[in-house]
Structure 1
């Protein structure tokens, strides 16, 4: 059974996800807005959080390195550790590197495509990182979630973007809730990715959102909550 998935994002009023680009506001600062996001992240009490490769690369600055001697590449699942909280990254091509097995105290699990090399798997295992290798070159997100539940005991997961992984999870019908903290700011840049992205076709005809609540927070931020259902389930 897959974990319950809640997508949690912070956005400008025009739907963009990089606070470094936001306009200023007399109601608060980027630091204060990010603090509200982190507070809600903690209050939602999930077992794990999931991001895409680009987002995780901003947190782990390690480069490629040879695996430790004697480390084997195990497929399809390597459990380096069991933990109270997990940081999960989708990295189909095996481009992420780590120098330890956690990010901010949360044990790392990497979701990988089938064509990832044994050398990369051994590198991850040598660094104390857990991983799940898909049956195909593309990651089957539904199967990956089932594996996270079965092998790591994850029951509640926060999906925290980039837009690409958010869009893929929504399109696959794997998201149960959507929470957006809207900051009193604008981005306005051309060609800048929003909190959800799913190619030229977008998400029309794939999901239905049901409004749950709109909660004013400090510093001009509004917390919007929605129930999410796939169009197949709602029809």
Structure 2
């Protein structure tokens, strides 16, 4: 068995590759105005132990002001787990410690922050005081395989939904850490200028991975749920 959780990259797309449902055209039958509802219903149906996003995505949910912690105790390293029975967990990468949290969860999903080694004790103390769990890497760059193994061994996370932007999706994929793509393809158009990507990597992926169809499920209003297994290219 793998030392890390099974990771499913979950995204929603319009026919023309748009990744922001707020810009999508309406459903053909006019019943769906907000496609995020279908995405969230599927999210819940997957019954994963947690979900993970990048700092920019998490910043939409973590908007607290800095609140320096009181006390003189040195916060623990390399990790602090304030809850070990909180699945699903809301996990984010915040290498430099820029995010601020007002409490330890979002919608009941407990926060776990992955940090680089240069993050100071003051920030760790603030996270601890606000009920947030964290893992600090040995290096300034987040060691994803080690962090994921810790999430599995210490928190029992067996399945994790990767729901970030193209950058974090590409980072995980390039590191061989994505097992499956779970894509909701909607019968819509975006039409906005500028290329969007489900995955972006500096060197591209041609010759590196292959995708094999697992299932195609018809959803409401003409949307489909496409599942692809990810394998290294032969």
TM over 0.5: yes
Whether 1:88 aligns to 2:96 is no
Q: Partner of 1:205 in structure 2?
A: 207
Q: Partner of 1:226 in structure 2?
A: 228
TM superposition shift of 1:25: 3.4
- TM-score, scaled to structure 2: 0.92
Q: Partner of 1:103 in structure 2?
A: 106
TM superposition shift of 1:26: 2.9
Q: Partner of 1:217 in structure 2?
A: 219
TM superposition shift of 1:62: 1.0
Change in 2 beyond 3 A, CA 1:193/1:93:
farther
Change in 2 beyond 3 A, CA 1:64/1:205:
farther
- TM-score, scaled to structure 1: 0.92
Q: Tell me if the contact between 1:16 and 1:195 (Cα under 8 Å) persists in the aligned partners.
A: no
Q: Partner of 1:141 in structure 2?
A: 144
- Structure 1's unaligned 5+ residue stretches are none
Q: Partner of 2:17 in structure 1?
A: 15
Residue number among 162, 165, 186 corresponding to 1:162 in the alignment: 165
Residue number among 118, 122, 126 corresponding to 2:121 in the alignment: 118
Distance 2:132 2:193 in 1: 37
Moved more, 115-124 or 201-210: 201-210
Alignment of 1:30-49 (within 5 A): 30-31=33-34, 33-49=35-51
Moved more, 204-213 or 82-91: 204-213
TM superposition shift of 1:187: 2.2
Aligned length: 230
Change in 2 beyond 3 A, CA 1:30/1:145:
farther
Distance 1:110 1:192 in 2: 30
Could you say what secondary structure the match of 1:114 adopts? coil
Residue number among 172, 179, 183 corresponding to 1:180 in the alignment: 183
